[in-house]
Amino acid sequence: MAESTKPASGIEVRSLYKVFGANAARAVELVKGGMSKAELNEKHGNVLGLKNINLEMPGGCIQVIMGLSGSGKSTLIRHINRLIDPTAGEVLVGGADVVKMNEHELREFRRKNTAMVFQKFALLPHRTVLDNAVYGLQIQGVPRKTQVEQAMRWIERVGLSGFENRYPNQLSGGMQQRVGLARALTNDAPILLMDEAFSALDPLIRTDMQGVLLDLQKEIKKTIVFITHDLDEALRLGDRIAILRDGEVIQQGSGQDIVLRPADPYIEKFVKEVNRARIVYASSVMTPLNGAAPAGLPIAADATLEDALREMVQADMRTAHVLGRDGTPAGSLTLHAVASAMVTPSHMTEGVEA
């Protein structure tokens, strides 16, 4: 089993602004004073890319940033490795402010602390799978033997064993993205930045790649920042999700938070078509125990509503108790609460969940 040798680093974004155009610093002050994105562009010709972004991304977790085209999500991820310089704000990685790094420090940070997986694969067409995978280590001056050993380990782990001597044009799109993932993992950076990494793939291949990433994350436990415009993908992958609109964070939290308690009508539109039966956990709609003895069927905390409903119907039970992580009863659950959470509009579920 391949394991990372570098501890995952948490990321904290504080009061981050990005304005494109002349006199950007002055434009930030105008935005802070209440000027809208549209007004800023109309009156001063500036484009507001990011507005007062504040995010804490715990180490070893998958942080999804999602939003529609033009929301600022790709701009945001490029601030983490400073491919884009902010107009104002801080980006802290392991306590160090990436914004304040000099040229040498930034180069070393990019080489050793971050790896990126792109939507369009970004493979070097004249290099084989193996030589694409070792590229980051080659830049670092790692001995060739070590390069190959590490790359082959990850090539095998992403399911490309036997293809190491093929060229990108000899691979399918899904296989090419596996090469991109193997290259990022071979570099052994604690932070993995994935910008719409699966968006160019066919639906079935995309689902397969999501499964590959989740399986790998159980082992590598890296800090992954994943950009997507797809809510189903965000809900499947994200430990935490932040939704952007016009360069501003509209809501952030767990997938459960966002599905059950959308912050405004914009978020409600996102979650409207979500099959909550397959997304929401039993623990999110249980009633905490008040000392009373638990009754009914035991249900795992991370069982989906669909699973909980199936178990209760099969057992012909109208009540259940939800087990916490330590295996002890944590809350009670009724058939009515499960069914209501599956069909009731999200803003009406408050008071039902734990």
Task: Confirm whether pTM is higher than 0.75.
Answer: yes
Q: What is the pLDDT of residue 351?
A: 39
Q: What is the rounded CA–CA span in Å between residue 63 and residue 98?
A: 18
**What's the whole-number average pLDDT of the chain?**
89
User: Of the candidates 214, 249, 271, which is a domain's last residue?
Assistant: 271
Cα gap 128→133, rounded to integer Å: 8
> Does a structural domain hold residue 177?
yes
Assess whether 160 and 304 both reside in one domain. Answer: no
Q: Are 228 and 56 in contact (CB under 8 A)?
A: no
Q: Would you say residue 12 lies in a domain?
A: no
Residue 96 to residues 47, 106, 125, 144, 230, Cα–Cα distance (Å):
28, 11, 36, 31, 32
Same domain, 125 and 244: yes
Interior/surface letters 109-138, b for 16+ CB within 10 angstroms, e for the rest = bbbebbbbbbbebebeeeebbbbbbbbbbe
253-292 confidence digits (pLDDT tens): 999 889 888 999 889 888 888 888 888 899 888 988 877 7
**47 part of a folded domain:** no
Determine, yes or no, domain membership for 232. Answer: yes
Is residue 323 located within the same domain as residue 340? yes
Q: What is the total count of domains within the chain?
A: 2
Does any domain span residue 306? yes
Final residue of a domain: which of 247, 271, 295? 271
| Least confident range of 68-72, 115-119, 345-349 | 345-349
Ramachandran area for residue 144 (φ above 0: left; ψ -120 to 50: alpha; else beta): alpha
- Domain residue limits at 240: 57-271
Is 298 found in the same domain as 195?
no
Domain co-membership, 89 together with 197: yes
Total H helices, total E strands in the chain: 14, 14
User: Quick one: pLDDT at residue 245?
Assistant: 93
Task: Verify that 284 and 265 share a domain, yes or no.
Answer: no
**Rounded CA gap, 236 and 64, in Å?**
10
Q: What is the pLDDT of residue 5?
A: 56
**303 shares its domain with 158:** no
Give the pLDDT of residue 278: 84
Q: Are 147 and 100 in contact (CB under 8 A)?
A: no
223, 239, 271 - which closes a domain: 271
pLDDT band, residue 47 (cuts 50/70/90): very high
In sequence order, what are the residues at sequence separation of 6 or more whose Cβ sits closer than 8 angstroms to the Cβ of residue 52?
Answer: 15, 16, 17, 32, 248
What would the pLDDT profile of 158-181 be if each residue is shown by its tens digit? 889 999 999 999 998 888 988 989
Return the DSSP state at 66. E
| For residue 348, pLDDT beyond 60 | no
224 and 317: one domain? no
pLDDT at 3 over 60: no
**Mean pLDDT, residues 89-115:** 93
Q: Give the Cα separation of 47 and 61 in Å (integer).
A: 32
313 shares a domain with 173: no
Q: 107-116, 213-222, 290-299, 342-351: which has the minimum mean pLDDT?
A: 342-351
CATH code at position 318: 3.90.1280.20
Q: Are 182 and 264 members of one domain?
A: yes
Indicate which CATH number applies to the domain containing 73. Answer: 3.40.50.300
Average pLDDT of span 59-75: 93
Average pLDDT score over residue span 305-318: 92
**Residue 291 belongs to a domain:** yes
Q: Would you place residue 293 in the very low, low, confident or very high pLDDT band (cuts 50, 70, 90)? A: low
Alpha helix positions (H), the chain: 24-32, 37-44, 73-80, 103-113, 129-133, 135-140, 144-157, 173-186, 203-220, 231-237, 255-260, 265-271, 305-314, 335-343
Is 341 a domain residue?
Answer: yes
Q: Are residues 214 and 281 in the same domain?
A: no
Domain assignment present for residue 9? The answer is no
Are residues 146 and 295 both part of a single domain? no
Question: Which pLDDT score is estimated for 345?
Answer: 52
